[in-house]
Amino acid sequence: MKSALKKENWSLLLEILSQPTAPYREGHVVTLVERTLNKASVPFFRDPIGNLVIGARSSAELLKLLRRAGGQPRDPDEPLRIFMAHMDHPGFHGTRWVNKDTLEIKWHGGSPVEYLEGYPVWLGSAQGWEDKGTIFSARLMKHKRAIDTARIKLSSPSLHSRFKNPSALFGGFSFRKPVWQEGKLIYTKAADDLVGTFAIVSLACEIFGRKTGAKPRKGLPTVPFVGILTRAEETGFIGAIGHLQLGWYAHARRPLLFVSLETSRQLPGAQIGKGPIVRLGDRFTVFSANALRVLLDVAEKTLPKKYQARVMDGGACEATAATVYGLPAVGFSIPLGNYHNQAFEGGPDCGGPMGPAPEFVHQDDVAGMLALCRAILKPKLSWANPFENRRKNFKKSFVKARKLLKSG
C-alpha cells in the first residue's frame, strides 16, 4: 500500500479495524490498544468509567500535568492538546434466548433501516468472534432512524449452551471480511471511530514510543499531548460524559484544548478522498472560534488545498461534550462512506438503498488527519492571539479608507 502511512502504522490500523466492538462492549479494542501501548512503553491508565487515558500513568499524574503552568518550553499560552476518539461502533447486545438458535437483541446507536430481513450479522463475546447469523423481525425506534429490537437466527445452537446469559453476546452487520481494501479505499464493518482510535494510538507511539528494552522515561511527559479513548459514544457520548464528570479538568492551571478525532458522514464539501476535515462544528454546536482559526491556518500550511472545512452536522461528536462542560474544543474528521453501515454511498456488499453496507474511508484522508494532528502539536502556534495578523490588515484597510470616509 503506497501512502504516507508507515508500514507498521498500516498494519496497526487493520488490526484495530478487525476487532469486534459495540457500545459498552469495547473490551477487544481496549486489549489491543493496551498491548500496543505497553510494547512501545507509552504511559496510560484506565479511568473509573473504563475509558483509556494515554500520556499519563495515573490520574495523579494527569492532574500534575493539568496543574503544571504552561507547556514545554514553558509558555503560558501553550494549551494541553487532549485528543478524543471513541472505541465503540453501533451494534447490538443479546437480551433473551427465544429458542436454542434464536436470540432476541437490543440495538444501540444508529443503523440501517431498510433491507434488514435476512442480512448477515456477526456475533462476539469477551472471548472473541463467536458465530454468524442473520437478522429478522427488526423493529425500528419511534423516530424510524435506527433499529430498536430484532431477532438473530444463529447458524448453530452451540452458543445457546455456552452463553446462558444472552447479554454476554454482542454483534453488528457482517460483510465479506471485517476489513479489506479496494484501491485506496478501506472497507470495514466499523471505521467510526476505530480510525480515530488508531490515530490517537499511532500518535502516542510516535511521541512516547521507546524501543523494546529501552528504559522507561522518568518524570512528566514534555509533549502537550493527552489521548482519551472513550466508551459508548454511539449512545450519546456516555464514556466522554463520565470522564468529564470526574471534574479533573477544573484543576487545570494551563489552557486546554479538546480535539475530537472522528469519522463523520460524507456531506457536500466534505468528500471522501479530498482530505481530512477541520470540523467547525457538529449537529449541536459550533466549536471554539479562536482555536479553529489556528487549525485552519495550520491545515492551509500543512496540506495546502488537500484539506476540507465545514460544520459536520450529520451527527454530534465528543467536542460537543467538552463544549457543554465549558471546555474549549475543536475537531478533525475523516469523511466516511456508508455512515453507521447505512448504504448512503452503496458499493460492495451493499444490501440495497439505505440497507446494510460496510463503512469505508480513504487512506489518504487518514494519513492527512495524522499530519494535521502532528502539526497542531508543534510549539509556538498562535493559540492566544490567532487573529492578530487579520487585525493588523483590518487597521490598514481602515486607514486607507479614511479619505473616502471624509469625502462623504
Q: In the complex, which residues of this chain contact Zn ion (CB under 5 A)?
A: 192-193
Cβ proximity to Zn ion, 192 vs 282, nearer residue = 192
Cβ proximity to Zn ion, 78 vs 193, nearer residue = 193
Closest Cα to residue 152, out of 142, 163, 143?
Answer: 163
Cβ proximity to Zn ion, 308 vs 320, nearer residue = 320
What single-letter DSSP state applies at residue 78? -
| CA-to-CA separations, 118 to 52, 72, 152, 214, 355, in angstroms, rounded | 36, 57, 9, 52, 11
Give the 3-state secondary structure percentages of the chain, helix then strand then coil, rounded to 5: 30, 30, 40
For the bound state, the minimum distance from the C-beta of residue 105 to Zn ion, rounded and expressed in Å, comes to 21
For the bound state, the minimum distance from the C-beta of residue 54 to Zn ion, rounded and expressed in Å, comes to 18
Report how far residue 289's alpha carbon sits from residue 267's, in angstroms, rounded to the nearest whole number. Answer: 22
All residues at 6 or more sequence positions from 186 whose CB lies less than 8 Å from its CB, including other chains: 13, 17, 179, 180, 360, 361, 362, 363, 366
Cβ proximity to Zn ion, 79 vs 281, nearer residue = 281
For the bound state, the minimum distance from the C-beta of residue 1 to Zn ion, rounded and expressed in Å, comes to 24
Report how far residue 286's alpha carbon sits from residue 89's, in angstroms, rounded to the nearest whole number. Answer: 24
Compute the half-sphere exposure of residue 366: CA atoms within 13 Å on the CB side of its CA: 29
Report how far residue 274's alpha carbon sits from residue 270's, in angstroms, rounded to the nearest whole number. Answer: 7
Cβ proximity to Zn ion, 78 vs 192, nearer residue = 192
For the bound state, the minimum distance from the C-beta of residue 257 to Zn ion, rounded and expressed in Å, comes to 20
Report the residue closest to Zn ion, judged by CB.
Answer: 193
For the bound state, the minimum distance from the C-beta of residue 86 to Zn ion, rounded and expressed in Å, comes to 6
CA 344 to chain centre: 20
Q: Please say whether the dihedral angle defined by the alpha carbons of residues 116, 142, 233 and 296, taken in this order, is positive or negative.
A: positive
Question: Whose grid coordinates read 474528521?
Answer: 333
Cβ proximity to Zn ion, 205 vs 312, nearer residue = 312
For the bound state, the minimum distance from the C-beta of residue 154 to Zn ion, rounded and expressed in Å, comes to 29
Report how far residue 166's alpha carbon sits from residue 154's, in angstroms, rounded to the nearest whole number. Answer: 13
Hey, what's the cell of 331?
Answer: 475537531
For the bound state, the minimum distance from the C-beta of residue 75 to Zn ion, rounded and expressed in Å, comes to 33
Cβ proximity to Zn ion, 339 vs 383, nearer residue = 339
For the bound state, the minimum distance from the C-beta of residue 155 to Zn ion, rounded and expressed in Å, comes to 30
Count Cβ atoms within 10 A of the Cβ of residue 55 and give its class: 0-12 exposed, 13-18 middle, 19 or more buried.
buried
For the bound state, the minimum distance from the C-beta of residue 377 to Zn ion, rounded and expressed in Å, comes to 22
Q: DSSP for 157-226?
A: THHHHH-SSGGG-EEEE--SSSEEEETTEEEES--TTHHHHHHHHHHHHHHH---TTPPPP-S---S-EE
CA 124 to chain centre: 22
Closest Cα to residue 123, out of 155, 146, 149, 148?
Answer: 155
For the bound state, the minimum distance from the C-beta of residue 379 to Zn ion, rounded and expressed in Å, comes to 30
Cβ proximity to Zn ion, 131 vs 192, nearer residue = 192
Closest Cα to residue 248, out of 34, 47, 71?
Answer: 47
For the bound state, the minimum distance from the C-beta of residue 182 to Zn ion, rounded and expressed in Å, comes to 23
Cβ proximity to Zn ion, 254 vs 362, nearer residue = 362
Cβ proximity to Zn ion, 85 vs 381, nearer residue = 85
Cβ proximity to Zn ion, 243 vs 254, nearer residue = 243
Hey, what's the cell of 67?
Answer: 496543574
